[in-house]
Structure 1
Amino acid sequence: MTLYPIETGNFKLDGGAMFGVVPKTIWQRTNPADANNQIDIAARSLLIEEGNRLILVDTGMGQKQSEKFFSYYNRWGNHSVDASLQKLGFHRDDITDVFLTHLHFDHCGGCIQWNKDRTGYEPAFKNATFWTNEDHWLWATKPNAREKASFLKENLLPMQESGQLKFIERTSDTYQMLPELGFKVHFVDGHTDKQMLPHISYKGKELVFVADLLPTVGHIPLPYVMGYDTRPLLTLTEKEAFLNDAIANDYYLFFEHDAHNEICTLKATEKGARLNETFRFESIFG
């Protein structure tokens, strides 16, 4: 097995929304805001090369939305899925599987693109199976009012219509091994229903793709929960259990949304879990 970080494109989000009830005077120490109160956000995917499988974990928001849509998110930098894959000698047609932690647009929008004449949509990874779970699919395709703006039908329905969508059969409420993909997942429900966090054993370490349970290193303290979470009190419970496990088992946390930190470890302190060290992927696994 070989792992590669894939930068799909950076954007910005409102810092207040990203930190919920935590005051700006505190969260801006780790996540400084610009003049519009927005903070830097990454959309960092993970590529898993295992035998004849090439598995992409999440895809970023893609390129098919309108200029007005993208104007809300102030994209910055030069990253893209295609450029990141090309640097590694791969092409999007080489991807055999796309594993989706959840179906918010910034995690799955890159799955679908315009067709050649822009009359409809088609899979952006034509040879891939798209993996989610049925409970989350139903949650996303019949969205509540709070999440409706994050679950976009143009990202979801074409996956199903293509015949490339497949559901993971759940046999556990917490951790579940996925033999078809070669890693296990941890189910969490506070951010959105049935989000899945991959746990990957790699080069003697346990790497966890933390997705939206822990967006940035600035979110490590327990009360630092996003305003986007549908069940923030449940996030607190899930996050506390995860942070304790991460310390006890020396997890390496892979950040999807931290634009400036790729990986970190944690340590226990009198105030709870705190940042231990940050790393570039290459310095640990290169």
Structure 2
Amino acid sequence: MNLYSINTGLFKLDGGAMFGVVPKTIWSKTNPADENNLCTLAMRCLLVEEGNRLILIDTGIGDKQSEKFFRYYYLHGEDTLEKSLKQHGFHRDDITDVFLTHLHLDHVGGAVVRDGQDLVPAFKNAVYWTSKRHWDWAANPNEREKASFLAENINPLQESGKLNFINESNPTSLTPDFGIRFTYGHTDSMMLPTLQYKDRTVVFVADLLPTTGHIPVPYVAGYDVFPLQSMAEKRAFLDEAQQNNYILFFEHDAVHECCTLQQTEKGIRLADTFSLRGIAGR
């Protein structure tokens, strides 16, 4: 197996929304805000190469929306999905599978592109994977998440006939070293890929832990639909990850790609941070 970090650009979200009830005087130490109280976040995907499969985990926000829409998210940076793939010697047509952790706009927007007046899958040779339970949740959105589940991001996938569903009772294994962990606090039935890589376990933590600043259990985003469940899921995951020396791969941390954890008198906290390329020496 080979892993490649795919950076699709940076965006900004309100710092208070990102940290919920945690005061700004605390969260701003790890995630400093600008003059508008906005924090810079990454949209970092992960490319998994194993055998004849090339699996892209999440797709970023994409570029098909209007300029007015993107102004809400302050997109910036030089990285794009296309550029990042090219840096590693790949093209979007090489992708065989697109694995969507969940269907919020900053994770699935890049899965669909405009082709003239039509909306079509961005990866024409790929099949797409999402949780069946989460799909049903996103297709009938609640008022809290409605603005994050956009029909133009998901309906074209189903209409293309290339959408495959993963059921929790018997999850599909994309490759022998590609496992799936389900969580339910951030949104219903979010999937976290768990990869066996270079004799280590690498977990793509998605929005269970958006950044290293979210490692303390109470640091839960206001976006989470079930925050108490998020806390319980974080606590269980952090205990397991620290005891087993997992490597955490971050989707939204603008500075750190990966980290390990350590037990401290204050609970489980950040240990080392490093790039994906640095895993081999650990």
Partner Cα distance (2:104, 2:63) in 1:
15
Q: Secondary structure at the match of 1:42?
A: strand
Uncovered stretches (5+) of structure 2, i.e. residues with no partner: none
Specify whether residues 203 and 54 from structure 1 end up closer, same or farther in structure 2 by C-alpha distance, changes over 3 A only: same
The counterpart of 1:228, out of the listed 223, 226, 232, is 223
Q: Which letter maps to 1:239? A: K
Specify whether residues 177 and 262 from structure 1 end up closer, same or farther in structure 2 by C-alpha distance, changes over 3 A only: same
Partner Cα distance (1:133, 1:250) in 2:
27
Q: TM-score, normalization: structure 1?
A: 0.96
Conserved 8 A contact 1:266-1:277: yes
Q: TM-score, normalization: structure 2?
A: 0.97
Partner Cα distance (1:98, 1:248) in 2:
31
Q: Secondary structure at the match of 1:10?
A: strand
Partner Cα distance (1:219, 1:145) in 2:
25
In the other structure, the counterpart of 1:106 is 106
Uncovered stretches (5+) of structure 1, i.e. residues with no partner: none
Partner Cα distance (1:266, 1:171) in 2:
30
Partner Cα distance (1:252, 1:200) in 2:
10
Conserved 8 A contact 1:131-1:165: yes
In the other structure, the counterpart of 1:199 is 194
Pairs within 5 Å for 1:90-105: 90-105=90-105
Partner Cα distance (1:2, 1:241) in 2:
28
In the other structure, the counterpart of 1:272 is 267
Partner Cα distance (1:177, 1:134) in 2:
12
In the other structure, the counterpart of 2:84 is 84
Identity value in percent: 60
Pairs within 5 Å for 1:19-168: 19-115=19-115, 117=116, 119-168=117-166
The counterpart of 1:209, out of the listed 179, 196, 204, is 204
Partner Cα distance (1:169, 1:126) in 2:
24
Partner Cα distance (2:255, 2:75) in 1:
15
Displaced runs of 4 or more, over 3 A = 179-182
Conserved 8 A contact 1:9-1:79: yes
Pairwise CA RMSD: 1.2
Cα distance per residue 1:55-99 (max 9 Å; x no partner): 000000000011111101111111111000111111000000000
Aligned length: 281
Q: Secondary structure at the match of 2:79?
A: coil
In the other structure, the counterpart of 1:256 is 251
Conserved 8 A contact 1:177-1:183: no
Greater CA deviation, 233-242 or 275-284? 275-284
User: Could you tell me how far 1:170 is from its partner in structure 2?
Assistant: 2.3
Q: Which letter maps to 1:201? A: Q
Q: Secondary structure at the match of 2:59?
A: coil
Partner Cα distance (2:211, 2:220) in 1:
11
User: Could you tell me how far 1:250 is from its partner in structure 2?
Assistant: 0.3
User: Could you tell me how far 1:230 is from its partner in structure 2?
Assistant: 0.1
